């Protein structure tokens, strides 16, 4: 039989307790921090809507006005006739926000990471991509790893946040084209890259620093600027699908890289531009993210409360972000805790390999600006019981 490996591999996923399935989710009309699954409402601690902006009236209105003005679709790729006023305006807003010369929009963060790494790491006109080196933090997102290894560049990995190891790796290289890549806030741990040290290392080694700010943008730094408020970052990528509550992504960089990506990045050239209506909605969410500091303050206040209320034997990965990881190691344990919380009306997904390393299954709690003290107390009480 053709493709027999499919059923064998799926059976193996079941055996390993790593089988994944989707749930069809509805937003609870009563509160945007709750979801309804199979008719039951749950308090949601597995959302990436960190600032609680999804469903915000002003963003919805901007989207509706965008649809009225531009329709739902860009109707072409950006280099043909798909780059509308809405896209240019969004790029300009991001440049101003992050103090960057240029910005380029992508259909997703995954595509943006692939585009950047594959385009910088591809050979052209006799130049070998072996003249390019990528240095990736061990915990870099799947899309960065995918982009790097599907390029022709030399790829080196350094242990998570290990500046000493990275320094030694860079010292051994005489390559002129070095890119250091990491995440502003790590998606499954919630801790931050050592942004200042990475920026210094990049400067001292004549390398570029590339940060994936998917989980930092809107949440960290002054006006929600993410890692850019901590140091001078050569290239910033961030998705709109998390704190900014829309979809798509951007890369902010200098003029020449911007031009290079427009000319050579296949993910940009051969893909329909994001919906202009989504671009209009994103402009509005960025404006709110910049202005409403209380949303960032609330994440910190509730995160501190959560840490205080958890029993002391429960260890959280240290975090200044919305993401709080409780590593329970075994898949079985993570699934069991998730199930116990579900029975109490709390949705907290179990994160298992291969999303995280073997023997590091976890509960990934996201605390958002639309949670309140009572929600956090309920969560902490339930976790204390399930993990005692």
Ligand X SMILES: Cc1ncc(COP(=O)(O)O)c(C=O)c1O
Contact positions toward ligand X, by CB under 6 A?
Answer: 108-110, 113, 141, 143, 183, 187, 212, 214, 239, 241, 249
141 as an active site residue: the answer is yes
Of 347, 335, 377, residue with least CA distance to 40: 347
For helices 85-98 and 276-291, angle between their N-to-C axes, nearest 10 degrees: 20
From the candidates 141, 178, 258, 267, which is the catalytic residue? 141
Residue 352: CA atoms inside 13 Å, Cβ hemisphere, count?
19
Sheet-wide strand order for 102-106: 102-106, 249-253, 235-239, 208-212, 177-183, 132-137, 154-158
Q: How many beta carbons lie within 10 A of that of residue 304, not counting itself?
A: 12
Residue 131 beta carbon to ligand X: minimum distance, rounded to whole angstroms: 26
From the candidates 56, 83, 156, 215, which is the catalytic residue? 215
CA distance 270 to 308: 50
- Which parts of 265-361 fold into alpha helices (H)? 266-269, 276-291, 293-309, 331-343
Quick one: 83 or 364, whose CB is closer to ligand X? 364
107 as an active site residue: the answer is no
| Chain position whose Cβ is nearest to ligand X | 109
Quick one: 42 or 240, whose CB is closer to ligand X? 240
160 as an active site residue: the answer is no
Residue 380 beta carbon to ligand X: minimum distance, rounded to whole angstroms: 25
From the candidates 93, 183, 189, 213, which is the catalytic residue? 183
**Element holding 197 (H helix, E strand):** helix 195-204
87 as an active site residue: the answer is no
215 as an active site residue: the answer is yes
Residue 326 beta carbon to ligand X: minimum distance, rounded to whole angstroms: 18
212 as an active site residue: the answer is yes
CA distance 281 to 157: 37
Quick one: 47 or 108, whose CB is closer to ligand X? 108
Determine the distance from the C-alpha atom of residue 9 to the mean position of all C-alpha atoms in its chain, rounded to a whole number.
Answer: 28
Quick one: 107 or 284, whose CB is closer to ligand X? 107
DSSP labels for 107-155?
A: S-HHHHHHHHHHHHT--BTTB-GGGEEEEEETT--HHHHHHHHTSSSEE
Quick one: 249 or 277, whose CB is closer to ligand X? 249
Residue 246 beta carbon to ligand X: minimum distance, rounded to whole angstroms: 10
From the candidates 32, 113, 182, 187, which is the catalytic residue? 187
255 as an active site residue: the answer is no
Residue 165 beta carbon to ligand X: minimum distance, rounded to whole angstroms: 21
From the candidates 83, 194, 242, 267, which is the catalytic residue? 242
Q: Which residues participate in catalysis according to the annotation?
A: 48, 141, 183, 187, 212, 215, 242
């Amino acid at each position: 039989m053709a493709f027999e490996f499919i059923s064998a591999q799926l059976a193996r996923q079941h055996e390993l307790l790593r089988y994944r399935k989707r749930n069809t989710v509805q937003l609870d009309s009563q509160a945007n921090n709750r979801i309804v699954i199979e008719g039951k409402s749950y308090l949601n601690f597995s959302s990436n809507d960190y600032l609680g902006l999804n469903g915000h009236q002003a963003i919805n209105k901007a989207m509706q006005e965008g649809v009225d003005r531009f329709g739902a679709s860009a109707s072409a790729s950006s280099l043909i006739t798909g780059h509308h006023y809405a896209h240019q305006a969004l790029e300009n807003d991001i440049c101003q926000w992050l103090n960057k010369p240029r910005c380029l929009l992508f259909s997703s963060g995954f595509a943006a990471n692939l585009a950047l790494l594959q385009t910088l790491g591809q050979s052209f006109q006799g130049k070998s991509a072996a003249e390019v080196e990528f240095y990736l933090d061990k915990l870099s997102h799947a899309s960065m790893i995918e982009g790097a290894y599907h390029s022709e560049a030399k790829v080196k990995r350094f242990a998570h946040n290990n500046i000493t190891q990275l320094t030694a790796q860079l010292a051994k290289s005489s390559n002129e084209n070095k890119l250091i890549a990491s995440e502003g806030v790590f998606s499954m741990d919630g801790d931050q890259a050592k942004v200042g040290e990475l920026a210094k290392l990049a400067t001292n080694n004549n390398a570029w620093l590339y940060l994936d700010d998917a989980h930092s943008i809107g949440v960290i730094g002054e006006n929600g600027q993410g890692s850019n408020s901590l140091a001078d970052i050569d290239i910033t990528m961030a998705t709109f699908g998390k704190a900014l509550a829309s979809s798509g992504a951007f890369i902010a960089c200098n003029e020449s890289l911007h031009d290079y990506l427009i000319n050579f990045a296949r993910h940009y050239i051969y893909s329909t531009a994001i919906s202009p209506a989504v671009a209009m909605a994103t402009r509005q969410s960025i404006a709110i993210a910049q202005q409403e500091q209380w949303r960032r303050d609330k994440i910190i206040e509730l995160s501190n409360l959560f840490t205080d209320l958890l029993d002391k034997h429960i260890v959280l990965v240290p975090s200044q972000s919305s993401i709080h990881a409780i590593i329970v190691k075994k898949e079985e344990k993570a699934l069991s805790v998730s199930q116990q919380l579900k029975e109490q009306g709390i949705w907290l997904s179990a994160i298992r390999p291969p999303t995280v390393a073997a023997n590091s299954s976890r509960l990934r709690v996201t605390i958002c600006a639309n949670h309140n003290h009572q929600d956090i107390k309920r969560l902490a009480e339930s976790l204390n019981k399930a993990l005692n």
